[in-house]
Amino acid sequence: MRRRHHQVAAGGVTLTLLGALVLTGCGGAGSKDAAPKESAGVSDGTPSASAPAAAVTDRPKVVMPADVRHVYEGGRTGDPVKDAVLADNARNLEAIDTAITGDRASTEPALRFYNKDKALLAVADYIKSYYAENRSFVGTTRYYRRDVTVSGAAATLTYCADATQTYPKDRRTGTVDRSVPGSASDYTFFTERLRKNDNGVWQSFDVTSGPGADKCA
């Protein structure tokens, strides 16, 4: 496996542990009252994940490392609500991977901006696992088969992630192992539940994931 996507099972993590998970796992210094803001797009600039033209509120600025990239397939759906869900999900995915591979402390506000409840717990635990093992990664992650169902202010999003073009990196030495072969374990299938908050942001509040070799082939 080139990188480990979060195989989510957040039920065993309690809310009281959240601060420790984020601060210890991500190296942050606590939530910030004011983070840099921008109407952020994604690393490869694809239309499917770029910000809606009329964003309700500014989004936290997230700058991914130069050697980490996301590709989003599928383009815009033509439905402005579905496109807004996909855009906020893409920003969230960038925040998560930036916390793992880049600027940890400044990314925490974005993680809290796009995640809440079980999803925030799962994300914090996932990021912590990389630091506990002194691991990181470089390369390109492909997100595809992104399907959105919207009901009022709630949405369900399913998507696949392909990490066959990523490579594990030792956090202590900076060494990248490009000899690891791609395999079925590099595919992950996600089901994410989101809710539009009062500021017009589609926040993830519950996420599950598992092996995607069968569903994402």
Q: How far apart (Å, rounded) are the C-alpha atoms in residues 33 and 18?
A: 18
What percent of the chain clears pLDDT 70, i.e. is strictly above it? 74
User: Using one digit for the tens of pLDDT, what is the confidence trace for 95-116?
Assistant: 999 999 998 888 999 999 999 9
Residue 34 confidence (pLDDT) above 60 = no
What is the bridge-based pairing of β-strands 68-72 and 135-151? parallel
Yes or no: say if 70 and 48 are a contact pair by the CB < 8 Å rule: no
- The 3-state secondary structure of the chain reads CCCCCCCCCHHHCCHHHHHHHHHHHHCCCCCCCCCCEECCCCCCCCHHHCCCCCCCCCEECCCCCCCEEEEECCCCCCCHHHHHHHHHHHHHHHHHHHHHHCCCHHHHHHHHHHECHHHHHHHHHHHHHHHHCCEEEEEEEEEEEEEEEEECCEEEEEEEEEEEEEEEEECCCCCECCCCCCCHHHEEEEEEEEEECCCCCEEEEEEEEEECCCCCC
Q: What does the mean pLDDT of the chain come to?
A: 80
pLDDT at 81: 97
Yes or no: say if 161 and 48 are a contact pair by the CB < 8 Å rule: no
Residue 210 confidence (pLDDT) above 60 = yes
> What is the dihedral angle through the alpha carbons of 60, 159, 208, 123, rounded to the nearest 10 degrees?
-20
Average pLDDT over residues 156-168: 96
For residue 46, give Cα distances in angstroms to 27, 87, 132, 170, 214.
31, 10, 33, 30, 26
- pLDDT band, residue 217 (cuts 50/70/90): confident
Q: How far apart (Å, rounded) are the C-alpha atoms in residues 102 and 171?
A: 11
